[in-house]
Amino acid sequence: MLKFEVMPRSIVKTLASALLMGAAVGSAQAGPQSEAYVGANIGLYDKYDIKCNAGQKCDQTASFGGKVYGGMDYENFGVELMAFGVGKGEGRLRRGGQDAQGDVKIGGLGVVGTVPLRFGDFTLKGKLGGAYTRGVANYAGGGSESKNSFGLLAGAGLSYALSKTLSLNADYDYLSAKYNKAGDKANVNMFSVGLSYKF
């Protein structure tokens, strides 16, 4: 089971349950031109855009990244919900208008519209939407801050149908979250792979 370091596990479990129930209901009610699905991905490469200070510890690659998701595909468009979490990256942050050494991590809930392009067993998807995020910063000089905010969520995905119901997915997601009261933010590029199941 994916471990989300920023979001409480109870929220992730609740979202996953809601997606499963919603997908099952949607599958039962939808016409022949629609497909419901759920899935999970683990981040293989998750990199923050934070900068590095000379002579100080810096690790822009997150310690963890992943997401659970579910949605509905129609003939020429779709809608997808997701819960995501990205572990900490360390480097130069901002604090009170000044540079500060520290680490940051983010998580959130998002919704995107999708445009699927099908080529036989392959499907390419473009994704664009928004997310409600929480960013947390821990400063090397002491203290921490956090911030809840809305941000952009965009990406693309490539899937291969292993069977009529099971697909292998490779996704790119651009995530953004504010992490302090001043509204400073960190962006993450997450590349992930996983499996999805169609109903």
pLDDT by residue (tens digit) across 70-109? 999 988 899 999 999 999 999 999 998 899 999 999 999 9
6/144 Cα distance (integer angstroms): 14
What pLDDT, on a 0 to 100 scale, did the predictor assign at position 53? Answer: 83
159/59 Cα distance (integer angstroms): 30
What pLDDT, on a 0 to 100 scale, did the predictor assign at position 10? Answer: 54
Which of 64, 42, 19 lies closest to 193, judged by CA? 42
Looking at domain 9-198, which CATH architecture does it have? Beta Barrel (2.40)
CA separation, residue 138 to residues 60, 95, 154, 163, 170 (Å): 15, 10, 26, 45, 31
The residues of the chain scoring below 70 in pLDDT are: 1-32
What pLDDT, on a 0 to 100 scale, did the predictor assign at position 97? Answer: 86
Determine contact, residues 101/93, Cβ cutoff 8 Å.
Answer: yes
What pLDDT, on a 0 to 100 scale, did the predictor assign at position 17? Answer: 55
DSSP, collapsed to helix, strand or coil, labels residue 15 as helix
